């Protein structure tokens, strides 16, 4: 199955972001991708989490969700997009949601970011939990016969989430991210490849890149990694781009047969 990851430099103008994403998704479809992954905050990137939270959309009347459904239908391609800040009845605060839209334009799954980014890095103080509520459960979705475990950005640092997915027979991990330049330069490649290698799964990692409102800088390097840890495709280090590769289930089976680490686990 051919898949694509999209790299963006999103800002505060939602319509501009939609137009940019539309052009990138069209490129992915022209290369025969059946699924494409959009990065965290693809539709709106504010200078701080409080500003983002103020503009969170109601899930049942979301402009972003409607745009995603229209894009999926018109392109005939499945989309995974997140995080989108959404509100739903019963939640105390907005949640950072990764949404899965099939090629018919139906939302078939959603995942709320479980690990919130509260850190002092890159010359800034980030307190995602001040404005956003954490999700409380993982999400596995069937992508045309391929089981995928969903995650968002800071989740990548918590290997137990990915081992949970691997132990439930996932073939692919999806990571939508906006890693800061400082943390990304030091850790992004290592973490993405580590999650692939230790769990013998493909990883589709889509990220923001460049400078955004408020001076925030993100690392980019969106990539697709195979179960052996090989980077199959990677976006340009600067600017908006797509990376496309084929998911080969036979490759996944070969890796797991040659080096059956998942069967050799002693601690669960």
Q: Using CA atoms, how far apart are residues 220 and 179, in angstroms rounded to an integer?
A: 7
Render pLDDT for 77-107 as a digit per residue (tens, 0 to 9). 999 998 899 999 889 999 999 999 999 999 9
Output the pLDDT for position 22: 99
Least confident of 40-54, 99-113, 254-268: 40-54
Per-residue pLDDT, averaged over 231-235, amounts to 99
- Which residues have CB under 8 Å from 99's CB, separation 6+? 65, 68, 79, 80, 81, 82, 84, 107, 109, 110
Domain that holds residue 28: 2-258
What value does the mean pLDDT take over residues 57-82? Answer: 96
Average pLDDT over residues 146-150: 99
pLDDT tens, 179-207?
999 999 999 999 999 999 999 999 999 99
Task: Indicate whether 56 belongs to any domain.
Answer: yes
Q: Is residue 263 part of a domain?
A: no
**Stronger pLDDT, 82 or 76, i.e. the higher one:** 76
- With a CB cutoff of 8 Å and minimum separation 6, the contacts of 94 are 53, 56, 85, 86, 87, 131, 132, 133
Average of pLDDT values for 166-177? 98
Distance, in Å, from the CA atom of 246 to the CA atom of 259, rounded to the nearest integer, reads 22
Residue 53 has pLDDT above 80, yes or no: no
pTM: 0.95
The answer to whether the peptide bond before residue 221 is cis (omega within 30 degrees of 0) is no
CATH of the domain at 36: 3.60.110.10
pLDDT of amino acid 201: 99
| Helices within 48-98 (DSSP H only) | 49-54, 63-75
Helices 189-199 and 159-167: crossing angle in degrees, nearest 10, is 30
Answer yes or no: is 6 within a domain.
yes
pLDDT for res 122: 63
Cα angle 111, 115, 116; round to 5:
105
What average pLDDT does this structure show over 66-76?
99
Say whether pLDDT at 72 is over 90: yes
| 3-state SS assignment for residue 89 | coil
User: Is there a domain that residue 82 lies in?
Assistant: yes
Which residues are known to be catalytic? 40, 113, 153
**Residues in Cβ contact with 51 at an 8 Å cutoff, skipping those fewer than 6 apart:** none
Split into its structural domains, the chain has a count of 1
* Structure tokens, 147: 């089981």
* Overall average pLDDT of the 34-43 stretch: 98
The pLDDT score that the predictor gives to residue 35 is 99
Q: Are strands 202-207 and 172-177 parallel, antiparallel or unpaired?
A: parallel
Q: Is residue 158 part of a domain?
A: yes
Tell me the pLDDT tens digit for each residue of 108-130: 999 999 999 888 776 667 788 89
Classify residue 238: in a domain, yes or no: yes
Average pLDDT, the chain: 95
């Amino acid at each position: 199955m051919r898949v694509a990851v999209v790299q963006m430099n999103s800002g505060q103008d939602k319509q501009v972001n939609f137009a940019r994403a539309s052009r990138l998704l069209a490129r992915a479809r022209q290369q025969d991708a059946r699924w494409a992954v959009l990065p965290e905050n693809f539709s709106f990137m504010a200078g701080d989490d409080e500003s983002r939270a103020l503009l969170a959309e109601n899930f049942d009347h979301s402009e972003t969700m409607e745009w995603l459904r229209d894009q999926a239908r018109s392109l005939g391609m499945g989309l995974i997009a997140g995080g989108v800040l959404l509100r739903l009845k019963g939640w105390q605060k907005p949640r950072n949601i990764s949404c899965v839209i099939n090629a018919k334009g139906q939302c078939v799954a959603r995942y709320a970011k479980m690990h919130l980014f509260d850190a002092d890095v890159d010359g800034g103080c980030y307190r995602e939990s001040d404005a956003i509520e954490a999700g409380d459960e993982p999400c596995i979705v069937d992508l045309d016969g391929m089981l995928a475990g969903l995650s968002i950005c800071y989740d990548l640092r918590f290997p137990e989430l990915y081992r949970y997915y691997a132990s439930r027979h996932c073939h692919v991990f999806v990571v939508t991210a906006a890693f800061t330049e400082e943390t990304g330069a030091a850790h992004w490649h290592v973490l993405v490849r580590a999650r692939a290698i230790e769990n013998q799964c493909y990883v589709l990692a889509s990220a923001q890149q460049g400078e955004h409102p408020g001076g925030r800088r993100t690392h980019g390097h969106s990539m697709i990694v195979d179960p052996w840890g090989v980077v199959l495709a990677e976006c340009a280090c600067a600017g908006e781009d797509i990376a496309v590769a084929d998911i080969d289930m036979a490759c996944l089976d070969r890796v797991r047969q040659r080096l059956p680490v998942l069967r050799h686990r002693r601690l669960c």
